[in-house]
Amino acid sequence: MNAPFDPGRAPVDLRAAEKVSCLRCCLRELCAPHPGEFSPADKAFLRSLVKEQNIRLRRGQNLFHAGDPFRNLYAVHTGAFKSVLIGSDGRELVSGFSFAGDMLGLDSIGDRRHPSHAVALDDGGVCVLPYSHVEKTAARVALVQRQLSRMLARELRQHQEFAVALGIRSAQERLATFLFNLSRRFAGRGFSSTRLRLPMSRTDIASHLALTAETVSRTFTQLEREGVIRVSAKTVEIVDSAGLSERANLAPVPLQASRA
């Protein structure tokens, strides 16, 4: 039923020449902010960052658990993952979703322990980057060091924006923003930006947006009635992209004025 689109599959065959493909795929974030910026020598360093390639996980399996000692960063190779943050009071919250090319474990650098679970939402694979090794390489390859800082800083910015979103925005704005961002992220990976397969459950989305599953469901329905998206189980089609981003950002003061 949702066969026409499958973001679980990478746009190029990553298994053919893994060393090379990692440079183009998994480690994109770490390595290729500005393509061509690397010398062959740099690339040698980068390739050496990866210890184990394409570790396989089945849907539902944990890549790591909250509380586990932090030793590696992981680059998502295939599939999708959710990060489940365990709050200081024990409450769980889905802090983010990761797809091919994303880095997992960055939030653990601070205290050498994973603050969150990483759970596979689909069968998938990851590459392993021993962090000690990354640090050492960063010390020698300035670009890697800079890029590491940048990745952290970017994630920081994202969480900042995210905090704003959770605090201020309405359910519709949050969901629209969520879809909008997913669309952008998929597009950046070569997938359709209008036809999204959401590998996570409504409950996961709800948790991520700090809403209830009921509200998420209602808001999906609402966006559908307004002709912005079409929903069919796990697949969402963005019908009116402009309308979506309108609903995502909205005016500075989203009062009842905007409902007329």
Q: Which of 89, 242, 251, 259 binds DNA (CB under 7 A)?
A: 259
User: What is d(CA 152, CA 159) in angstroms, rounded to the nearest whole number?
Assistant: 11
Binding site for its own copies (CB under 8 A): 85, 87-91, 93, 95, 106-111, 115, 135, 138-139, 142, 145-146, 148-150, 152-157, 159-164, 166-168, 209-210, 249-252
Looking at the Cβ atoms of 107 and 122, the one nearer to its own copies is 107
Residue 210 makes contact with DNA by CB under 7 A: yes
Q: Is the dihedral of CA 131, 136, 137, 139 positive or negative?
A: positive
* Cα(82)–Cα(60) distance, integer angstroms: 10
Stretch that binds DNA, among 83-91, 126-134, 154-162, 211-219 (CB under 7 A): 211-219
Nearest to 28 by CA among 101, 94, 81, 95: 101
Closest among 247, 176, 253, 252 to 211, alpha carbons compared: 176
When asked if residue 172 is in the footprint of DNA (CB under 7 A), the reply is yes
Residues 6 or more apart from 168 whose CB is under 8 A from it? Answer: none
Q: Are 200 and 121 in contact (CB under 8 A)?
A: yes
User: Three-state DSSP class for 191?
Assistant: coil
- Return the residue of 22, 27, 50, 216 that touches DNA, per CB under 7 A: 216
**Smallest distance from the beta carbon of 62 to its own copies, in angstroms?**
19
Stretch that binds DNA, among 95-103, 124-132, 142-150, 203-211 (CB under 7 A): 203-211
User: Which contiguous run of DSSP H or E holds residue 196?
Assistant: strand 195-197
Q: Which is nearer to its own copies, 8 or 33 (CB)?
A: 33
**Binding residue count for DNA, defined by CB under 7 A:** 24
Which residues are near DNA by CB under 7 A? 1, 170-172, 201-203, 210-218, 220-221, 231, 233-234, 255-256, 259
